[in-house]
Each structure stands twice: as C-alpha cells, then as structure tokens.
Structure 1
Amino acid sequence: MYDKITNHFSTTLHGIDVHYELYNEEMKNNKPVFVLIHGFLSSTFSFRRLIPLLSREYTVLALDLPPFGKSGKVREFVYSYDNFANIVISLLEKLTFQHNILIGHSMGGQVALYVSRKRPDLVYKKVLLSSSGYLPRAKFPLLHSSYLPWFSTFLKLLLQFQGVSRNLMRVVHDVSLIDDEMMEGYTTPFYDRNIFDALTKMVRDREGDLPVQFLKEITTPTLLIWGEQDRIVPLSIGKRLHNDLPYSTFISYQNTGHLLPEEQPHQIYENIIGFAKG
C-alpha cells in the first residue's frame, strides 16, 4: 500500500505489518541510500528534522520497527534485535537497495550493528547516533514478572505516570525544544493498547547487545556521533564502541543530549554527508 501524498508505505514482512517512508527512490542507482532506524519507544517521527535535509539529494528510507510507530503490534512476533535486523534486511531486499548507509539512533544503532554483522554485503557504511551498547538481556526477575497477567497494564501505567514531557526532558539537553508537536508525535503510537502487550513480549524476546568479540569482527566503516550530555547512553559507551569497532570515527557534540536527530539535525547532516563522501 502506498500513500502518494505523504510517501508512506506499508508491507508485510515476517508475518507483521511494517510501516516505512521512502523519499527520492529514483536517486538510488547513482548514490547511496540512507536507511534510518529509530530507537526504543520511538518511530520514524524522531527523524522528522533530518529526513528533509538528507532527501534533498539522496534516497531516504525510514521504517517503524514493530511494535513502534505505525507498524504492527502482535503477540506472535519475536521482538528481538536479530528479528528487527531481519525486518531491515528483508525490506532492503524487497526494495532492491544495495548501496546502503544505515543510520541507527539508540536501540536502532544496535539493530544497525546486527544488520551489518548478518549481511555486510548490504551495508556500505553506518552511522550510530548515541547507539545502545553492552546492555545484557533482561534479568530473571523481570523476565519472570513479564508472564504475570497484569504486567502489560503495569507498563501502561508506568509510562502514563512518567509522562511524555518528563521522558522528553530526560533525552534532550535543551528542554525549550519540547513543544506540543513533539509531545504529540512521541505519544500517538501509545494510544494503541496492543503496544503494551507487544512490549511485554519484547521484555522476553530481547537478547543482549552484541558482545565485544562480535563487534571486533564488523569491518563496515562506522561514524559514531554522541551528545556529551547524554543521560541515557553516556559518552563512555560511545568511546568504548569506538575502541571495539574497527574502522570507526568518533564525534561528540557539546550541549547535546540523547535525542540527536531532534537536537542537532543540521550538524548531523553535515557530518553524515562528509562521511558518506569520504
């Protein structure tokens, strides 16, 4: 299905509906394709300031990983990093995109690493924006609790108690960026009650981040970009990834938090284009 006005698509991959956005597909034959992969509790919305910049001259593909954004939220799907990587790989194969630069934010950075390890032939380069790294699998008490019948309701109440405004204040350095549009964009996917059942399943399905020995085997050129005031994935994680990933370059921004695509889209764009052309 294709919405001609907004460039929004949906397709079924691995038994689940996947929403994606596609811009300037006609440019894919002579330039790299930028593939945007969002973070946890986020969606393609988080790239709304970066997409218009990249799509001036390049093909841009952004997708909602299940169960986030407009993608499916079903209990039957396996919500693991490995399966998220399978979704990305299958979408790239479906679209016959070969010369791809993956841009992964937060959890999306870890998914980009999984894709790069599984199918290096599909990944020309990758950019990790405050990427998740070195997180273990959920511990037994949390895994055990996720099987209790009220757990999904607990997740819903927890997110409601925290509030979107409070959560956004944790992920941006300059809180003046938070406006009604941002709050609504990050809240809308959670109006669907099914997402909390899917998140409960994700607690059980999510394996740990890639271990060091696997990171050292990834030879795809990597640009790491971090906010120096990131309170979610601290600067030390970025420097550790830089040390463990061969052929990596590390950049950090002052006065910047975790939500890099919202906080520094123009600076990120300049760094990404320089990296892509280098």
Structure 2
Amino acid sequence: MEKAHFYCSKMNILGVNVHYEVYERDRLNPVIVLIHGFLSSSFSFRKIIPLLEKDFTIIAIDLPPFGKTEKSTKFVHSYTNMARVVIELIQALQISKAFLVGHSMGGQVSLNAAKQRPDLFEKVVLLCSAGYTKGVSPTLKFGSYVPYFYLCIKHWLASQGILKNLNNVVHDQSLIDQEMMDGYMEPFLDNRIFMALNRMIRDHEGDLPAEELKLIEQPSLLIWGNEDKVVPITIGERLRKDLPNSSFVSFKHTGHLVPEEKPEHVSEKIGNFIFQAQ
C-alpha cells in the first residue's frame, strides 16, 4: 500500500520556530494532531503513526522547548501558551476541524486547546494524561531566577540517566533498545534546552482544575496503562469522572508510554473513537 506523503517544516509561532511533521495520504482524511509529553517529542509517536496514516492526516508537533523546536528563553512555557501554539499552527495550515491526541503533559495541552477552541477540535484522546498537579512550588520557582540554575536542572537530568528514565515509563523493559534511547536523548544534546526548562519552571501554571474540566464538552477517550508509575491510573479514573463526555480504557502490563508499548491497541482505539458517530 502506498505510504502517506511526509514532510516536516518549521513555523514561527508566538516568536518561536516550531517544528512539525505532516503525514498525508488523502486530503479528505480526518486530521489528527499528536501532542507529546514532558521531556519527550513527536518521536514518542513513531509506532502509532504508520498505523494511523492510512485513515488520517497526521500532524505531529514538537512543543517548545522539546524535540526539534527552538529552545527559547523568551517564550512563556505555560500550558495555555502551548495550546495557543497548537491552535495557531492548525489555523495556519488552513485546517478547520481536527482531533487531538495528547500523551502525558500533552494531554493537558490538548485539554487547554479543546477548552480554548471547541469549534476547532471535535474530540480529544488522552494517553496517560497529566492531571490535577498544582503549579511549581514557590521554592523551585524562586530557584529558576538564580543565575545558572539551569545547570542544576542539567545535572539532575543527567544523574537520572536515559535508561533509568525509560525504565520508569516502560513496563516491558525488553522494548528498550539503542534506537529508543538515542531518540529520547537527542534533544538534550543541545544545551539550550536546560535554559528553556529553567524558564518553563517559572511559567508552569498547573493542570486544569475539576471545575474547568467539567466545562469541556467534546467527547474524550482516556487510554491508560495499568502499571503507569508516572501518572497512576487513579488520575485517569478521576479525569473520567470530571470530563462530562468521556470514556475510559486501560491495558494490563503497560506503563506510561502506551504509544510505545501498545501501538496496535492504541491505534485501534483511536480510530474507532474518531469514526464512531457522536
């Protein structure tokens, strides 16, 4: 079967050069927007993109300051602003209707975008979405103003190590290979990301509270890993109660990186959810 046409590009949005990828086979196909999680990139969707590109046009975005997007210290790295980046990119590509798929932090960005533009985004899929965390502690926020604090962030991430981080987010650790480690490590070879993360600490406003979640009326599908150690399944069950038009599914023996661990199952659930009549 013929593969989808692929191209990647950068667009200046809110003063930042944002990297995005487009996979398109048929212009009439529904549009899915993939939004990755914290310390990640569109690389995290590499296994579900080939499974979805037959039926959908796919747009994968690297949020500031991750992936191949510019690592800016001037951009305000709030969820509200990241959602604006998504919205402005989709509008610039002259797309009038789209579906959001957000993993982890990308789930909160997706919810923010859905809240800001219910006319633009028809449905939302949340993959182990972040939820209910407050803003950064005053002490950490104060630290972000200290000169060279970004070096502390770099040291902390280095002390964790890529293998330790992946072991924490993947239940089946046999899936971790060199390609996976290299893909998740690559953005951190650019020292500017630590300066941008320093700014992100300052700008982080916390997750949407329950009273705002209850106002999001678009249908939403929540997909979880039963063994998620980063965002426990209890968060998913709580989101299920607060999002008024939501459904919930979970996979056994699966951790936080559900697109990596269960690509076929996740892709099938996404496709069925988007094509089902409302």
TM-score range, shorter chain: over 0.9
Aligned ranges 1:150-189 → 2 under 5 Å: 150-189=148-187
The letter for the 1-side match of 2:26 is: M
Structure 2: how far apart are the matches of 1:138 and 1:179? 33
User: 1:192: which partner in 2?
Assistant: 190
Structure 2: how far apart are the matches of 1:139 and 1:37? 25
TM-superposed CA distance for 1:150, in Å, is 2.7
Structure 1: how far apart are the matches of 2:275 and 2:211? 29
User: 2:21: which partner in 1?
Assistant: 21
User: 2:129: which partner in 1?
Assistant: 131
Pick which of 142-151 and 173-182 moved more: 142-151
The letter for the 1-side match of 2:8 is: H
The alignment partner of 1:231 has SS state of: coil
Structure 2: how far apart are the matches of 1:193 and 1:6? 29
Asked if the contact 2:216–2:244 (Cα under 8 Å) also holds between the matched residues in 1, the reply is: yes
Aligned ranges 1:80-229 → 2 under 5 Å: 80-229=78-227
Asked if the contact 1:145–1:151 (Cα under 8 Å) also holds between the matched residues in 2, the reply is: yes
Equivalent residues, number: 272
The letter for the 2-side match of 1:57 is: D
Structure 2: how far apart are the matches of 1:206 and 1:140? 11
Tell me the TM-score normalized by structure 2. Answer: 0.96
Structure 2: how far apart are the matches of 1:270 and 1:138? 36
TM-superposed CA distance for 1:229, in Å, is 0.0
User: 1:7: which partner in 2?
Assistant: 7
Asked if the contact 1:31–1:99 (Cα under 8 Å) also holds between the matched residues in 2, the reply is: no
TM-superposed CA distance for 1:153, in Å, is 0.3
The alignment partner of 1:96 has SS state of: coil
Asked if the contact 2:45–2:259 (Cα under 8 Å) also holds between the matched residues in 1, the reply is: yes
User: 1:275: which partner in 2?
Assistant: 273
Tell me the TM-score normalized by structure 1. Answer: 0.96
The letter for the 2-side match of 1:239 is: E
Tell me which of 38, 41, 52 is aligned to 1:40: 38
Asked if the contact 2:30–2:55 (Cα under 8 Å) also holds between the matched residues in 1, the reply is: no
Structure 2: how far apart are the matches of 1:136 and 1:27? 42
The letter for the 1-side match of 2:56 is: Y
Structure 2: how far apart are the matches of 1:98 and 1:166? 41
Structure 1: how far apart are the matches of 2:195 and 2:103? 24
Structure 2: how far apart are the matches of 1:184 and 1:6? 22
Structure 2: how far apart are the matches of 1:96 and 1:260? 30
Structure 1: how far apart are the matches of 2:55 and 2:223? 22
Kindly provide the CA deviation profile for residues 36-55 of structure 1, in whole angstroms up to 9, marking residues without a partner as x: 00000000000000111111
Structure 1: how far apart are the matches of 2:29 and 2:57? 8
Identity of aligned residues (%): 51
Query: CA RMSD of the aligned region, Å?
Result: 1.0
Structure 2: how far apart are the matches of 1:254 and 1:97? 36
